[in-house]
Structure 1
Amino acid sequence: MIFFKKSIFVLMCALGTAAIAQNSDLGAWYMYFGNNKISDKFNFHNEIQYRNFDAGADLEQLLIRTGIGYDLTENNNNILLGYAFILSQPYIRGEKSENIEHRIFQQYITRQKFGRFFVQHRYRLEERFLQDDFRMRFRYFLGLNIPINNKEMLPKTWYASAYNEFFLHLDSPVFDRNRVYGAVGFVINKNMRIEAGYMNQIQENRNRGQVQIGFYNNIPFTKN
C-alpha cells in the first residue's frame, strides 16, 4: 500500500508539472498495440503508431515496433528484446524534412494489483541508430488502470487510465522528455480493449498536447 501511494504521488506531481508548462499546440496519435502469446512463456509484441501534427493526414511520425518477450513468472515480469522503425517528417523552418531511425530496445515489465487499482511499471533501454548519430536512452513508464463499473477488468467494463513516462539520455543533455496521460477505456472482451485520451509531452521547455486513440489486442496465437 505504501508503494501504491508513492506511485500515485509521482503521477500527481507529473500532472502538476504539465499544467504549468506553456506554449501548447495539439496533435493526434492513432495507435495499435498487439501482445500475443505464442507459448505459455513467450509473447509476440507488435505495435503501429500513426502520429499527426493535427487530427488529419499531416504525418509527423510513423512508428512500427515489434519484439519477443518472455514471462519470468506466470503472466507477469516480462523481459523483451525488440526492434523499432521510425519515420519522422518534422517541419524545419517551415519546410518538411524526412528522418529515419532504427532502434533496438530491451525492456522489463512488471504488474501489481491493489484492490481495484492495476499498476504497471516498464523499464526500457533503447539503442537509437539515427541518420547522423547514435544515442542511448532510458525510459521509465508508470501506468494505472482503474475499472469503473466493475471491480475487475472484465468484458464490458469502463475504466480510467493514467500514466507518466520520462525519458533520459545516457549522455548530455540527460533530460529528453516527459509524458503525462489520462484516458477513458472500454474492455470489449477478455483479449481486446479500446482507449481514448489526452497526452501532454514536455520536451526542451515545450509543452505539446496529443489526442490519442489506442486499440489493444491480446488474442493468443496458441490453442490454449
Structure 2
Amino acid sequence: MKKLAVSVFCLGSIFSFAQENDLGAWYMYFGNNKISKKLNFHNEIQYRNFDAIGDLEQLLIRTGIGYDLTENNNNILLGYGFILSRPYINGEKSENIEHRIFQQYITKQKFGRFNLQHRYRLEERFLQNDFRMRFRYLLGFNIPINNKEMLPKTFYASVYNEIFLHLDSPVFDRNRVYGALGFVINKNMRVEAGYMNQLQENKNRGQIQIGFYNNIPFTKN
C-alpha cells in the first residue's frame, strides 16, 4: 500500500503540470512482435495534433528489427523513422519531412511491483536542409495496481522521464515527463491514457496521450 500511495502521489505531481491552453493530443500505436526466439519487429505510428483532433502537428512512423541479447531482455535495435511535421510559422502552416535512422538499447529490471525500463537511443536525423545527431535516454516504470503482476485485466500506473540531447550545440533539446493509467487486456495487448509535459526552448507544453500496445508474436516459438 505504501508503494501504491507513492505511485499515486507521483502521478498527481506529474498531472499538475497540465496547461489549460496550448494543449495537444497524441494518438499512438506501438507494435513489438516476435519473429523468432531472439528477433523482434518494431512498428509504430503516432498521430500528433495541436488540438484534440484535426489540426495535424506531426505524423511519425517508425519501424525496426531488434535482437535480444538475453532471453526477452537486453534488446538492441536498428530502425528507421519517417516524420511529417506541419508547424505554424508566423501564423501560417508549413510542412517539413524528416528521415531518421536510429539505434537503441533497451534493458528491463523488476523490483517488487516496479517494472523498470531503460532505453538508450541514438538518432541520425536527415532534415530537409540540415543533418543532426541526437541522443535520448528514457527511464520508465509500470506499477500494477489491482494485481501484483502485469496480468490480464490489471490496471497499472505508468510513468517515464525522457531527456533529448544534441551531439552539437546547443546540447539540450527537450525533456518529457509522462504519467498515465493503463489496462492490460491480455498477455499481448494493453492500452494507456495519460498526460505528457514537454519542456523545449524554455517552454512547457502539455499533451494528452492515448496509446495501444500490441505484442502478438508472428511465430509460435
**TM-score, normalised with respect to structure 2:** 0.92
| Mapping of residues 65-104 of structure 1, within 5 Å | 65-104=62-101
The code of the aligned residue for 2:188 comes to: N
Q: Which whole-Å CA distance do the structure 2 matches of 1:177 and 1:159 have between them?
A: 27
Distance 1:38 1:20, change over 3 A: closer
Alignment CA distance shift 1:27-1:163 (3 Å): same
Identify if the C-alpha distance between structure 1 residues 20 and 51 changes in structure 2 by more than 3 Å, giving closer, same or farther.
closer
- What is the CA-CA distance between 1:223 and the residue it aligns to? 1.7
**In structure 2, C-alpha distance between the alignment counterparts of 1:39 and 1:99, rounded to whole Å:** 37
Distance 1:127 1:114, change over 3 A: same
User: SS in structure 2 opposite 1:139?
Assistant: strand
1:140 deviation in Å?
0.1
Structure 1 CA distance for aligned equivalents of residues 21 and 123 of structure 2 = 27
Q: Which residue of 1 aligns with 2:125?
A: 128
Deviation for aligned residue 1:19: 6.3
Identify which of 188, 202, 205 aligns with 1:205: 202
Take 1:72 and 1:207, find their aligned partners in 2: how far apart are those partners? 38
Alignment of 1:45-194 (within 5 A): 45-194=42-191
Distance 1:23 1:146, change over 3 A: closer
* Contact 2:18/2:197, CA 8 A, preserved across alignment: no
Report the residue type matching 1:26 in the other structure: L
**TM-superposition CA deviations, 1:7-43 (whole Å, max 9, x none):** xxxxx99x97996898962000000000000000000
Give CA-to-partner distance per residue, 1:23-75, whole Å, 9 cap, x none.
96200000000000000000000000000000011000000000000000000
Change (3 A) 1:18 1:136: farther
1:142 aligned partner, one-letter code: L
Q: Is 1:38 aligned to residue 18 of structure 2?
A: no
Given the superposition, is the C-alpha separation of residues 50 and 20 from structure 1 closer, same or farther in structure 2, using an over 3 Å criterion?
closer
Return the alpha-carbon distance in structure 2 between the equivalents of residues 21 and 147 of structure 1. 24
Distance 1:196 1:17 in 2: 14
Q: In the alignment, what sits opposite 1:5?
A: none
The letter for the 2-side match of 1:73 is: T
1:180-201 deviation digits (Å, cap 9, x = unpaired): 0000000000000000000000
Cα distance in 2 for residues equivalent to 1:180 and 1:214: 16
- In structure 2, relative to structure 1, the CA distance for the partners of 1:161 and 1:125 (3 Å cut) is same
Amino acid at match of 1:34: G
Q: Supply the distance in 2 between the matched residues of 1:133 and 1:36 (Cα, whole angstroms).
A: 33
AA partner of residue 32 (structure 2):
N
Deviations 1:157-205 (A, max 9, x none): 0000000000000000000000000000000000000000000000000
The question of 1:223 aligning with 2:198 is answered: no
Q: What stretches of structure 1 move > 6 A for 4+ residues in a row?
A: 15-23
Query: Which amino acid is 1:208 matched to?
Result: R
User: 1 CA distance for matches of 2:171 and 2:19?
Assistant: 21
Identity %: 86
